[in-house]
Amino acid sequence: MEPTQAIQIASELRARGFQAWLVGGCVRDLILGREPKDYDISTDATPDRLVQIFPKAQLVGAQFGVVLVDGVEVATFRSDHAYDDGRRPVQVTFETDPQKDVLRRDFTINALLLDPTSLTPPLDSKVIDAVGGLSDLRNGIIRAIGNPEQRFEEDHLRMLRAVRFAARFGFEIERATLAAIKEQHQRIARVSPERIRDELVRILTEGAPRRGLELLDASGLLAAILPEVSALKGVRQPPEYHPEGDVWTHTLLMLEGLKSPTPTLALGVLLHDIGKPGTFRIADRIRFDGHVELGEEIARGILNRLRFSNADMEQVIALIGNHMRFSHVHQMRESTLKRMLRLERFEEHLELHRQDCISSHGGLDNYEFAKTKFEESPPEHLRPPRLLTGHDLIQCGYKPGPDFSRMLEDAEDAQLESRVQSKEEALDFIRSTFGPPT
């Protein structure tokens, strides 16, 4: 996002005698040489004055001093009073001193103020740093401001945010901050499922999902929010197929291999073997009979619990449900293979399978075969207009009933395999397969 709009807003505020600073993640990212996703402004102008200055401003959190001006969040300096719900302060006091404002924020690296009128490097000299954030940025440290226990008592979600920032930037969580998370990790259960979901998705998709999962585990947060994933640890696998180790190690390796994954692909990788702990048995070798079906059931429960959308949930379930089918692609009938290749967002299925292979036995024959077939098959070959409909069967004298679905599916199989190429040939196929209508 370009800073132009934020600079104009800040310049207008300063021209009217108010303070205006860039604050938070945008300052952190600029100092790190990253492109900020958005720009936030902190000011001593109160919400009522902001609305007077910017008549089109939206009051998105006026009680907390937050106003949206042309897509830029502008917040009045404030100090927070007691928190009683692990999320929001009961009351705030608007301030005129920017240093009082930064003291109520979460981490030192997110509490830097930057003059928006001069964004040319070097930026360090133009920053107001009241909490040691510049030093922590240079040293790669995630540190809670002030008393970490108090920061996490105020907003329990900050524990997940600490993990996310540490994973995204490759930083370490400072010792006292990590100790406070370990001490309070069970409180994460008080946070709404939607907020947990959004942080989890960010951890899985912002560049270092393996480290994020390892930090969740080390802090105790994983067992609190995803005990089913924590249960993957120590679940042995047959070494002839999985020389890398247990299910946990395999999952970590797959996550490590992801590059800019979609949320559904990342979740599919995280949960693809979630049914293995519940199906582990030793026969001629270690086996996980039925782990796909159990995995679908467990994953549906997790995704429902975290309030994922139906569309996301169905895609993740499909990734889990189909991930073992790649082992049969060379033996599949043409119609079966085409039905597989036309799965919604098949590229995600391909990538999950590729990661599954390179994170275990390393063989990519099935992947290359399926990838080639997919790339060589235009959509009209995978999903051609059906030659027959239920109406066609009725017109030929067949009575609607439970056999209709099978008849239409078999006719489509014949079409996909080029055994029939017209409606007449498809009807002849139905008569020869199912007999004439009675």
Residue 32 pLDDT exceeds 70:
yes
Per residue in 275-319, pLDDT (tens digit) is 999 999 999 999 999 999 999 999 999 999 999 999 999 999 999
Query: Which H helix or E strand runs over 127?
Result: strand 127-128
Three-state DSSP at 76 gives strand
Which CATH architecture is the domain 1-138 placed in?
A: 2-Layer Sandwich (3.30)
Distance CA 199, CA 205 (A): 10
Phi, psi of 306 (to 5 degrees): -95, 10
Q: Band the pLDDT of 62: cuts 50, 70, 90.
A: low
Query: Got the DSSP string for 135-151?
Result: HHHHHTEE-BSS-HHHH
Distance CA 83, CA 419 (A): 70
Distance CA 381, CA 413 (A): 12
- Specify the pTM: 0.92
Six-digit token string for 330: 């060379």
Quote the pLDDT of residue 206. 95
Query: Got the DSSP string for 375-411?
Result: HH--HHHHSPPPS--HHHHHHTTPPPSTHHHHHHHHH
Quote the pLDDT of residue 204. 98
Query: Pairing relation of β-strands 113-114 and 72-76?
Result: unpaired
Q: Which amino acid is at 340?
A: M
Residue 438 pLDDT exceeds 90:
no
3-class SS letters over 86-110: CCCECCEEECCCHHHHHCCCCEHHH
The closest of 268, 170, 271, 172 to 218, measured between CA atoms, is 172
- CB 286, CB 240: distance < 8 Å: no
Residue 177 Cα distances to 107, 174, 212, 274, 386, angstroms: 10, 5, 16, 31, 61
DSSP code at position 326: G
Count of C-beta atoms within a 10 Å radius of residue 216: 27
Quote the pLDDT of residue 86. 62
Distance CA 436, CA 143 (A): 77
**Overall average pLDDT of the 24-46 stretch:** 93
Distance CA 324, CA 294 (A): 13
User: CB neighbours of 150 closer than 8 A, spacing ≥ 6?
Assistant: none
Six-digit token string for 123: 């930026």
Query: Which H helix or E strand runs over 158?
Result: helix 158-169
Residue 90 pLDDT exceeds 90:
no
Task: Share the mean pLDDT of the chain.
Answer: 94
Domains of the chain, residue spans: 1-138, 140-225, 244-377, 390-434
Query: Got the DSSP string for 11-22?
Result: HHHHHTT--EEE
Quote the pLDDT of residue 327. 96
User: CB neighbours of 251 closer than 8 A, spacing ≥ 6?
Assistant: 213, 229, 232, 269, 270, 272, 273
Distance CA 348, CA 341 (A): 11
Lowest-confidence region among 68-82, 203-217, 238-252, 424-438: 68-82
User: Does residue 261 have a cis bond before it (omega within 30 degrees)?
Assistant: no
Residue 84 pLDDT exceeds 70:
no
Per residue in 336-395, pLDDT (tens digit) is 999 999 999 999 999 999 999 999 999 999 999 999 999 999 999 999 999 999 999 999
The CATH code that applies to domain 140-225 is 1.10.110.30
Distance CA 234, CA 414 (A): 47
Q: Which residues pair with 83 in a beta bridge?
A: 89
